[in-house]
């Protein structure tokens, strides 16, 4: 998820913040010290989102009798490690990335040890969501909020004017691309992977989409750990599909070199222009967060519930593959083991979280298919949940789970070079494999 990448890249030195409530336990003992009726939570989100999160918990506290204090820290990844190392972690931490959580399994409690019915919580979630933070058969974290990335954004008015229909299969999407080119309407895809020091992350998402679909969840997870190589048959197949969609002649204005130098933030602006000479494109695969970067008039339409010029459909899966959804999310882990911590974890990871007001946050999407969608305030939230319900697989962003030198290092660099035409796909994949840590 982009905002988590920005947090990671924009880390500043910070002093560990002492939270009110129970202080850390973890690692296999009983509960930590402090009042059992006050539970502290640390996370990375701040400002309006943090205020809404706290307000939801305050409302829940009126019935539960448990006081919950949330503290948002923009240097969360550094601060939570520092506090746990010092023996003063919060009771609960909300992790933007699974890697940091998994690095702290020596001080976090398996949720099963808290007496939490993990299987019951994840029963209405897409396959893959409940196992993101499993280590040696134990669950150290569950998502409380997720985001979806397998979205293809389009301009309904432009589709209607050109006589285009939304594709429901991969074959129909290919036929649509060919029609757009043959009729001289413009370019099938908008795409940009330039993001300053994080240039290339947009390419990783495209590759992940098809490794997940062609390989299934087990192969996808083995790819994350390095057991399945980049230069393997399945990842090469996924790479060839990406090349067909983005790098073939006429698919994107300017081809691969333009993708490598076009900002992900502005690539979608070409959905709203008219004519090939103006660079009109008709589809853009991007995560739900991209709506924040559309032109002001489009954002105003979205706020008013007017989707006549912007909407999305799910990226179709190739024939013979499962209906998959790529995404990210925030995972809840526990440093203390007592009844109050258990109750809070059960609430914020359960299907009722958000019912006390937090669902009004446009960034929130419950991982639960049974969440009451009427509580959402945007059509995009409601539609995303419907798409998620139909997905049989959920793949958590792979590059966020790979070792840092790969997922936010060599992979970004090599995929950008491939897109730019400076190296071949084969050479790029081999270079990434060579950089993978061996221990």
Residue-wise pLDDT for 311-359, tens only, equals 999 999 999 999 999 999 999 999 999 999 999 999 999 999 999 999 9
- What pLDDT is stored for residue 13 in this prediction? 29
- pLDDT higher than 70, residue 36: no
- pLDDT higher than 60, residue 261: yes
- What pLDDT is stored for residue 11 in this prediction? 32
- pLDDT higher than 60, residue 18: no
Residues 371 and 422 in one domain: no
Residues 253 and 391 in one domain: no
Rounding to the nearest 10 degrees, give the CA dihedral for residues 106, 338, 98, 393.
130
- The burial class, CB within 10 Å (0-12 / 13-18 / 19+), for 134 is middle
User: Could you report the per-residue pLDDT of 265-308, keeping only the tens digit for each?
Assistant: 999 999 999 999 999 999 999 999 999 899 999 999 998 999 99
Residues 193 and 257 in one domain: yes
Residues 180 and 205 in one domain: yes
Nearest to 339 by CA among 123, 36, 102, 28: 36
Residues 50 and 137 in one domain: yes
- pLDDT higher than 60, residue 40: yes
Helices (H), 226-254: 233-242
Domain count across the chain = 2
User: Could you report the per-residue pLDDT of 199-249, keeping only the tens digit for each?
Assistant: 999 999 999 999 999 999 999 999 999 999 999 999 999 999 999 999 999
- pLDDT higher than 60, residue 22: no
- What pLDDT is stored for residue 97 in this prediction? 85
What single DSSP character describes residue 252? B
d(CA 344, CA 339): 9
Residues 27 and 50 in one domain: yes
Query: Tell me, what CATH number does 144's domain have?
Result: 3.40.190.10
Residues 281 and 414 in one domain: yes
Determine the structural domain holding residue 361 and report its residue range.
2-148+325-398
Residues 72 and 18 in one domain: yes
Residues 270 and 381 in one domain: no
Percent of the chain surpassing pLDDT 70 = 92
Residues 160 and 269 in one domain: yes
User: Could you report the per-residue pLDDT of 46-61, keeping only the tens digit for each?
Assistant: 999 999 999 999 999 9
Please provide the size of the chain in residues: 439
- What pLDDT is stored for residue 5 in this prediction? 42
- What pLDDT is stored for residue 99 in this prediction? 87
d(CA 51, CA 431): 44
Residues 222 and 283 in one domain: yes
Residues 165 and 237 in one domain: yes
Q: Which two tokens stand for residue 203?
A: 């390419």
Tell me the pLDDT band of 438, cut-offs 50, 70 and 90: confident
d(CA 1, CA 290): 11
């Amino acid at each position: 998820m982009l905002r988590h990448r920005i947090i990671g890249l924009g880390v500043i030195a910070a002093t560990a913040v002492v939270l009110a409530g129970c202080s850390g336990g973890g690692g296999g003992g009983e509960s930590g010290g402090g009042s059992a009726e006050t539970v502290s939570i640390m996370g990375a989100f701040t400002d309006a989102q943090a205020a809404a999160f706290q307000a939801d918990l305050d409302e829940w506290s009126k019935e539960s009798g448990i006081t919950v204090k949330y503290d948002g820290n923009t240097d969360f990844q550094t601060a939570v490690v520092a506090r746990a190392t010092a023996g003063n972690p919060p009771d609960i931490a909300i992790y933007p990335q699974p890697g940091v959580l998994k690095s702290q399994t020596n001080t976090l409690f398996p949720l099963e040890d808290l007496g939490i019915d993990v299987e019951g919580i994840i029963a209405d979630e897409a396959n893959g969501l409940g196992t993101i933070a499993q280590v040696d058969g134990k669950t150290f974290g569950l998502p409380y909020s997720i985001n979806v990335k397998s979205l293809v954004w389009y301009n309904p008015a432009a589709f209607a004017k050109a006589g285009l229909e939304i594709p429901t299969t991969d074959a129909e999407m290919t036929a649509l691309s060919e029609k757009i080119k043959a009729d001289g309407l413009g370019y099938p895809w908008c795409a940009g992977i330039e993001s300053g020091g994080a240039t290339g992350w947009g390419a990783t998402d495209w590759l992940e989409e098809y490794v997940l679909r062609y390989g299934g969840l087990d192969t996808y997870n083995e790819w994350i750990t390095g057991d399945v190589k980049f230069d393997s048959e399945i990842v090469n197949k996924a790479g060839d599909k990406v090349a067909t969609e983005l790098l073939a002649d006429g698919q994107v204005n300017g081809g691969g070199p333009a993708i490598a130098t076009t900002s992900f933030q502005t690539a979608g602006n070409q959905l709203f222009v008219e004519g090939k000479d103006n660079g009109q494109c008709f589809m853009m695969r991007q995560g739900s967060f991209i709506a924040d970067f559309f032109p002001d008039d489009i954002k105003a339409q979205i706020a008013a519930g007017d989707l006549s010029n912007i909407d999305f459909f799910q990226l179709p899966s190739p024939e013979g593959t499962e209906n998959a959804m790529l995404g990210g999310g925030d995972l809840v882990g526990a440093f203390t083991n007592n009844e109050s911590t258990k109750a809070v974890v059960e609430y914020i990871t359960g299907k009722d979280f958000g019912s006390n007001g937090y669902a009004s946050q446009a960034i929130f999407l419950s991982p639960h298919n049974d969440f009451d969608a009427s509580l959402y305030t945007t059509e995009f939230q409601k539609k995303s949940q419907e798409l998620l319900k139909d997905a049989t697989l959920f793949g958590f962003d792979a590059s966020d789970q790979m070792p840092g030198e790969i997922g936010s290092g060599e992979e970004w660099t090599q995929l950008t070079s491939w897109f730019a035409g400076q190296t071949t796909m084969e050479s790029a994949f081999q270079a990434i494999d060579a950089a993978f840590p061996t221990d």
